[in-house]
A and B are shown apart, each in its own frame.
Chain A
Amino acid sequence: MKYVILIHSNPQPWGHPTGDFVAEQRDLPAETREQLNADFESVLEEMSARGELIGGEALADPASARLFRWHDGERLATDGPYAEGKEHLAGFFLIDVESPERAEEITRNFGAPGETIELRPAMWPGGDAD
């Protein structure tokens, strides 16, 4: 079953890995930050080796987004950001795993101070077995 792991973050300035630019993580002791990075690297490696990782991207500054809306019967383009929220979509991973439990086990490792990680199931085009 497929899931997306969405990284919601607000690095200042915008940058990757986001943890290097999020105040809550910059304030952590060096060892703790290294541990967080190591956890993340090892889960990425494990996902690749197990054939669970389909893909993923780090996203550019939300201010660089172009937004397309419908306005007075026409398509209108404006500049981002999409939302003036506390957090923005900073990156995503697409995974395909055996079970919801495995998806949660993976995603747990993405969590870090000052960020929200969203695990969201993907829909599929086929029907149920009958």
Chain B
Amino acid sequence: MTVEQVWRTEAPHVLAALTRRYGDFGDCEDAVQEALLAAAAQWPREGMPHDPRAWLITVAQRRLIDQVRSESARRRREERYAADALDGAAPVGVDDSLEVLLLCAHPALTKASQVALILRAVSGLTTAQIAAGFLVPEATMAARITRAKKTLAGAGSRFPAPAADLSARVGAVRHALALLHTEGHVRSSGAKLSDAGFSGEAIRLARSLWRAVPADPENAGLLALLLLTHARGPARTDAHGDLVPLEAQDRSRWRRDLIAEGVAILEAVLPVGPVGEFQLQAAIAAVHDEAASWAATDWPQIAELYRMLDLIAPGEAVTIGRAVAVARTEGPAAGLALLDPLAASRNHRVAATRGHLLAELGRTAQARVALEQAARTTRSIPEQRYLNRLLHEMA
């Protein structure tokens, strides 16, 4: 492990230890962040301390006390903190990362705030690093994080989270990590796709969630889904940074190691049940990843998985996926019919899929209209370039 990996791994443990003792998550989080900055300045120069966690706890505690001292209105709390200082070597539980993760996925926060807070409190990233990942200025991200912490305090959040909430909270964590993974690979431009970034961090956190709560089969489902999706990363853009659709990807560039790991995790968990949305999505990703080509894909299997997914977690993306699969098993007209209920949708992916299916049916003029609509409404530059190229080739 590099020194940075060490302090980032320790961050949630240190935060949990402080929060458990002092209660105020917002203040403790600020103090831990300062301790991480101190580690970043000192460790590479002076070497890593013998017990990094104890070092971070001591420094964070000192910062917390300084911080409280500077606010004279809070004098009484200062006395309590000073009298009650934590032993630097205090034992901390193995589930600390999980506890902090659960708190960050509090239902009072928006999904985007949950993700930003997770990156700071659990991943130990600085506000500047998070801001860079989301392509916003540091001040904007700092305001978001401050607001998220205020919201948590105002919502009467408890640390650790009450056991009764556990299963709903773990579900919220899964959705936040899935969003983090997606942000990672849709936000990065082509040249950066090889850089693990947020997507890699999402996988690391999904892995720790799976280890901390192995009894929930959806945690295995999430980890498998992220690995199986991440495996296709190297083939997702071409040398010019242009988007390559799944259909045309060079499958020899897919990461076989990640596919093997994802499939193994999924195969071990599927028989356990109950089968939830992440396991189904992972199963769909696995079918794609194991197919030798687009044409050789087991489409009946994918159509059936989407039908099941539609029952438990319906949504536009599921309908689109199902329409594509059904078009392969029953013909483009059957796929098109599934898209009918989405006629009023403003989602460019609906229009793009409709355009592809209409083109297959030889209804070229209608296909052009749909693809033009998709190209006009997408906000992804590579996606727009791809659709424009397609339209040009059709002409």
Q: Which residues of A contact B (CB under 8 A)?
A: 1-2, 48-55, 96, 98, 121-130
Contact = CB atoms under 8 A, between A and B. Distances in A.
A126 B380 contact: yes
Given A52-B140, A98-B110, A126-B186, 12 more contacts: A50-B143, A50-B144, A50-B147, A51-B147, A55-B137, A98-B112, A121-B379, A123-B380, A124-B186, A125-B189, A125-B381, A126-B189
Contacts, number: 75
Contacts of B182: 129
A76 B242 CA distance: 34
Given A50-B144, A51-B142, A130 B245 contact: yes
Choose among B134, B140, B143, B232 the residue with the greatest number of A CB atoms under 10 Å from its CB.
B140
Given A49-B147, A128-B186, A130-B245, A1 B236 contact: no
B125 interface: no
Interface of B: 110-112, 134-137, 140-147, 182, 185-190, 229, 232, 236-237, 243, 245-246, 349, 378-384
List the 5 shortest-distance A-B pairs measured between CB atoms, nearest first: A51-B144, A51-B143, A125-B189, A126-B186, A127-B243
A96 B140 contact: yes
Contacts of B137: 54-55
22 contacts: A49-B147, A50-B147, A51-B143, A51-B147, A54-B136, A96-B136, A98-B111, A122-B379, A123-B380, A123-B384, A124-B135, A124-B187, A124-B380, A125-B382, A127-B190, A127-B237, A127-B243, A128-B186, A128-B243, A129-B185, A130-B229, A130-B232
B236 A127 contact: yes
Nearest to B145: A51
Nearest to A121: B379
A65 B140 CA distance: 30
Nearest to A51: B144
Contacts of A53: 140
A127 B186 contact: yes
B262 to A, nearest CB: 16
Contacts of B147: 49-51
A51 B135 CA distance: 13
A124 B379 contact: yes
Contacts of B135: 2, 124
A27 to B, nearest CB: 37
Contacts of A96: 134, 136, 140
B117 to A, nearest CB: 12
B140 A54 contact: yes
Contacts of B237: 127
Contacts of A50: 143-144, 147
Contacts of A128: 186, 243, 349, 378, 380, 383
B246 A130 contact: yes
Given A51-B141, A54-B137, A123 B110 contact: no
B357 to A, nearest CB: 17
A79 B144 CA distance: 42
Contacts of B382: 125-127
Contacts of A52: 140
B9 to A, nearest CB: 27
A36 to B, nearest CB: 25
A123 B379 contact: yes
A1 B140 contact: no
A22 to B, nearest CB: 30
